[in-house]
A and B are shown apart, each in its own frame.
Chain A
Amino acid sequence: MSRKSYAFVLLFLTVSLFSILFSTEKEISRIGLEEILSIGSLEDDILFQWAGVVVDPRGNIYVTDAMDYSLKKFDPQGNLLHKTGRRGQGPGEFMAPRLLDCWGGFIYVTDQHIPGIQVFDTDLNFKRRITIRRPISDFRVLSESQIAVSTLHMKKAASILVFNSKGKLVRSIRYTQEKMPLMMSMVSFEFDKQGHMYIAFTFQDRIEKYDQGGKKVWSESLLNVRKTKKVKVSSYLVPDKIVYKDIALDIFENVFVLGGHFSKNESSDVYVVSPEGRYLTVFTLPHRSHCLYIDSRNFLYSRANDGVTLKKYKMHYSYQ
């Protein structure tokens, strides 16, 4: 290759690098929501109290319904395609279906009262159960053979636990060094495509990022909450006010955190933080929600009408 060619390639790379750097400099200053789909009205019998939501790469929407012990599948237009489940502890049955995730053509479902994770195909046929003998407060399927789980830690420092497809613990990512009072280490979490882990503490004002090696990259507090009140339940003292309810990442890997009781608009304010940990903006959902989900096409899903309605929004970003 001639010197001219080298110079051209070098110039091209420099320009590309600058354009990438320039584009990442643009920061979100405002996010607006446009409702594009609503599933479940006040009159119909489609959703009674939905708990968890996940969307497959084709845009089909899967929802757990705690009131009728079911898992439901909707097409991208919101039409009910399949429903499965009834009350019970057998295969494909639920006592309190909750969280969902989707990976490799399978839907993974937790139950608040049954340990482990049930796996269904996308037509909602039960395939198998993964035995995990710990309460699951949040989970993500990282690959066919790795499922990351947050659980309750009582006697030791808290970690995200990674299990294989047979339910065997293969590694853990520690996010607290010290033992914390009951439930104070509870988190919801997300992983980005590079394997960074983002966590939002449920009962503490802490949002944190960890690198692939489990080292803390940053830690942020957004609400100035010092201490949360505790109440006695049985013989345990437990916090009764939630700081952050859920965490999600958009396609640009900005961190979206749903605020709880301490937010100006309780269970509706969503705080947006850049991947580098800079607070960007806050926007308010039209309805109170218990969770927040962003699909691979950057649509945001949340709850309305106390869980009888699921809303899907298109997000409109304004930049500085």
Chain B
Amino acid sequence: MRRGFRPFLVIVALGLFLSTAIPKNGGAEDPPPAERHQKSGPSSPRLIVFLIDFNAFLCPSCLDSFLHFHKKLEARVNASQMWGILMIDHPFQESKKETKMKILHKKLRGFKKANHIKFPILIDHLGVFRGWSKEGTAIILLDGTSQKIRKYNFPLTPQEMREIIDHETVH
């Protein structure tokens, strides 16, 4: 775990973010309500959250690592356990907010389609994760069973990749 990382704040932030973002975003990024109910039940106490920063993907090894890892994880983990959050480093001007959100939704559609990503990605329009993008794209594991949270930054080392995948499939 990285120094300065506060699990409690993360749980609160993620809880707040997901509880506000999921019902509001009835668009293409969300699974249908019935599916959502199944996926968030007590039988899936683990959640994998990708914190995505488009700027970080200018580094090809970061994007490679993310896509490679996503492919591996997809083959082993229930897709409903995976979520993504697109981080935004600057707050939107109120007058441009609607346009900016439309642009980001469009870019996300292109990104997901071109990279075969199926899990939902929410846009952090509230700025909950603002500032986190300094560290680039990351993955957060929330494990309700062991009550542990872990965070890894891309590009992942082979050791980290093994660690995450083992953790997600051993239990």
Tell me the A residues contacting B by CB distance below 8 Å: 42-43, 45, 48-49, 65, 67-70, 86-87, 95-96, 113, 305-306, 308
State in angstroms the CA–CA spacing of A4 and B74 once bound together.
90
Is A49 a contact of B109 with CB atoms below 8 Å? no
Bound together, the chains give a CA A45 to CA B109 distance in angstroms of 8
Between A and B, 18 residue pairs with Cβ closer than 8 Å are: A42-B99, A43-B106, A45-B106, A45-B113, A48-B106, A49-B107, A49-B110, A67-B110, A67-B114, A68-B111, A68-B114, A69-B114, A70-B114, A87-B114, A87-B115, A95-B60, A305-B99, A306-B107
Quick check: B60 and A96 within 8 Å, CB to CB? yes
Distance in Å: Cβ of A236 to nearest Cβ of chain B: 15
Q: What residues of A have a CB within 8 angstroms of the CB of B100 in the complex?
A: 306
Most central of A45, A48, A69, A306 by chain B CB within 10 Å: A48
- Other-chain residue from B60, B67, B99, B111 in contact with A67 (beta carbon distance below 8 A): B111
Check B103 against A86 for contact (C-beta < 8 Å): no
Contacts of A86 in B (CB 8 A): 114
Contact of B107 among A43, A87, A95, A308 (CB under 8 A): A308
Q: How far is the CA of A48 from the CA of B106 in the complex (A)?
A: 6
| Bound CA span A173–B62, Å | 36
Chain A residues, CB < 8 A from B2: none
Chain B residues within 8 Å of chain A by Cβ, number: 15
- The answer for the CA separation of A48 and B115 in the assembled complex, in Å, is 13
Given A42-B99, A96-B60, A113-B60, also A308-B114 (CB < 8 A): no
The majority secondary structure among interface residues of chain A is loop
Q: Check if B103 sits within 8 Å of A68, measured CB to CB.
A: no
- Residue B102 interfacial (CB < 8 Å): yes
B111 and A308 within 8 A (CB): no
> Do A306 and B103 touch (CB < 8 A)?
yes
B87-118 contact mask (Cβ, 8 Å, vs A): 1 or 0 = 00000000000011011001101110111000
Q: Is the CB of B102 within 8 A of A48?
A: no
**Known contacts A48-B106, A305-B99; is A68 also within 8 Å of B60 by CB?**
no
Contacts of A45 in B (CB 8 A): 106, 109-110, 113
Which of B58, B60, B102, B111 is close to A42, meaning CB atoms less than 8 Å apart? B102
CB nearest neighbor in B for A48: B110
- The A-contacting residues of B in range 110-145, CB under 8 angstroms, are 110-111, 113-115
Do A43 and B110 form a contact, CB below 8 Å, given A87-B115, A96-B60?
no
> How far is B109's CA from A68's CA once the two chains are assembled, in angstroms?
10
Q: Is the CB of B60 within 8 A of A48?
A: no
